[in-house]
Structure 1
């Protein structure tokens, strides 16, 4: 009797784990697809923060959520030939951005940029002093010596690009991707445990002596 009771309990647990795991896994997948996309870094303009070949999870956002310092995946056909590019937001609409060499100020205040890798100045870049138009962004790459960014397009609306071209933001320091991966993994484990447990209980039930009372209900 104890064996039958154990098998019956094990079967009920397995039946509960499988749908719970599937619900958790499918919910995580749906949420991730709705709120994130993936991107591969194709150049070295954002080194050392994001080197070429890195696979990134990019959070979908709208223009109202953009902040200075964000790293964005953005489309700007007038600057980047229609390809989505990774760039860091230095100034937003209304900001006064000035720079000389690798030194940048926004609204008269120096910008602390520990992510910038260049010790040498790019001699092809002249000093600049611009005001960012409303609804647009002034963007720079972290690898200032090798980045096609707003500094090279100052004659086109102060080098800015439209905020409407933003396709997402790299969630730097965010716990969200880790949480999503954890939930997805947990859902997968619960599903497999439920299916495996059900299979084991079925096999154990069939191994009981003939005529022994047994019910899968």
Structure 2
């Protein structure tokens, strides 16, 4: 009798190849179903300051859609955005909230407990101290194509309300480089499945080659078992 070398390795190679292929295929399908705009780039960042408390605490992790090449962000009131403003923050992007957009009149009258947007009180449930919506009074009509930004921690935020000397504190929409989004769990799961599947598939391939090499070697004879005298 002869023992077939590499048989177990061959079986495991097939198992890994099939499982790896299914994981890669499943991850690709899950990713395509989760995000119809696969060209969008997501970025994970750590919040460095207190200007967006309580929405983001220092040290929190936030996810951002960084847009597409040549694409523009559709900025709306209430959006939390990353803006590139070297004249305000020379060492990196600023995280802030869009309070008003082109055509809006945004104002704060000292002693009031809300901002006024186009003459009406603005409800802002996201700010840290709802009784103090700004540290300074202002009255700004936002030009078209621009926006007025404020942090959620109004008493500790370097934002449009404190920059009246530069276009009344407004910024062009083109300065937006990212917009905060929920954690893209579906894409992360899909990416993890594809990575694990690729490793399993590669391992199955290596194991299969090893099994073939072992099988080509001369098989070891198995000594017969003689019955007891």
Please tell me the TM-score bracket, short chain as reference.
Answer: 0.7 to 0.9
**Residue correspondence of structure 1 range 164-203 to structure 2 within 5 A:** 164-171=174-181, 174=182, 177-198=184-205
8 A Cα contact 1:73 1:86, kept in partner: yes
Corresponding residue pairs, total = 202
**Residue correspondence of structure 1 range 69-148 to structure 2 within 5 A:** 69-81=78-90, 83-100=92-109, 102-119=113-130, 121=132, 124-126=135-137, 128-148=138-158
Calculate the TM-score normalised by the size of structure 1. 0.74
Calculate the TM-score normalised by the size of structure 2. 0.71
Report the CA distance shift for 1:102/1:155 in structure 2 as closer, same or farther (over 3 A).
farther
Name the larger-Rg structure: 2
Report the CA distance shift for 1:122/1:18 in structure 2 as closer, same or farther (over 3 A).
closer
- CA drift of 1:47 comes to 0.9
1:102 & 1:149 partners in 2: Cα distance?
19
Q: Are 2:47 and 1:44 aligned?
A: no
More helix by proportion, 1 or 2?
A: 1
| Cα-to-partner distance string for 1:71-105 (whole Å, 9 max, x where unaligned) | 00001233333631000001111111122455123
Report the CA distance shift for 1:138/1:38 in structure 2 as closer, same or farther (over 3 A).
same
